[in-house]
Amino acid sequence: MPFLRGPVRGGPVVDALSDETLARLCEAAREVALCSRVLAKTGDTVLTEVLRDAVPPVEAWRHHPPGDVYDSEYHAQYYFHAHPESELVGEEVGHFHTFMRPLGMPEGVAPAPLPDLQPDQDGNAALSHLVGISVDIMGRVIRLFTTNRWVTGETWYAADDVASMLEGFQIDHARPSWPLNRWITALVSLYRDEIVELLQERDATVARWQADHPGSYVYDDRALEVMSERLVDVEGRIQEVERARRRRARQQAAMADPAWQTRG
């Protein structure tokens, strides 16, 4: 998969976030760290977990685990696969694709009214791609990205509608791996704000491409694959969130101090 190139871009300024948002980030950061730690104790990573039953060498395009991972309560879904080595960029060895199916979407969300929109015969087939998560050989996340419609065969939803699905992404069962499922759930939460930006950039890319290529039907154009991306540093993000939590706690403690309140 050809990727755009660029530096790591910072996330939201955590010190400016609301208490509720910072608390959500702290919870997600601790969950990601916990899952990584317990896997490391047995020499495992999220990559070895998702490829647990794979026979090396990993075959390009094959979904892992077979049949994907689908939570029938929350209707979230994901799989991992690799592209041919000639298409890999940098240290990436493969990536997760994450989705939400209609039964898990917020009320009122509907597909974009594209001219080739097909009816959803069973009411839960018109899934939406949320974000791709690239990892290296050690299972470390190196980038997040969005894709064109043809890449995953998704149904297209507007960026704001896809953004509304992110909070509901949850894989809450034990197969194929309890720590892997908890990890990917928490990672989407940890980077929710960045994913929203990526989705907005995705739709902006669609508009620019259509304007520059008037004879192309953008959603099926094989020349346009990756729509937006971010290089990320998960360990750095976890540390950033924890430092912000400590600063917020000190500030709140100081403001609650009667001596502080009488100053000035």
Residue 111 main-chain phi, psi, to 5 deg:
-60, 155
The pLDDT tens digits for 206-259 are: 999 999 999 999 999 999 999 999 999 999 999 999 999 889 888 888 877 666
Of the given ranges (19-28, 52-61, 223-232), which has the lowest mean pLDDT? 52-61
Kindly report the average pLDDT of the chain as a whole number.
Answer: 92
The pTM score is 0.91
| Mean pLDDT, residues 24-51 | 97
pLDDT for 262? 56
Confidence of residue 6 (pLDDT cuts 50, 70, 90): very low
Q: How far is CA 166 from CA 38, 48, 188, 190, 264, in A?
A: 25, 25, 7, 11, 45
Neighbours of 127 (CB within 10 A): 22
Break the chain into its structural domains and give their ranges: 17-251
> Which tokens in the block code for residue 23?
């608390």
Q: Which of 180, 145, 156 is nearest to 53 (CA)?
A: 180
Return the beta strands (E) in the chain as ranges: 64-70, 76-81, 94-100, 128-135, 141-147, 226-231
The pLDDT tens digits for 149-158 are: 999 999 999 9
Which of 4-13, 39-48, 242-251: highest mean pLDDT?
39-48
pLDDT for 252? 82
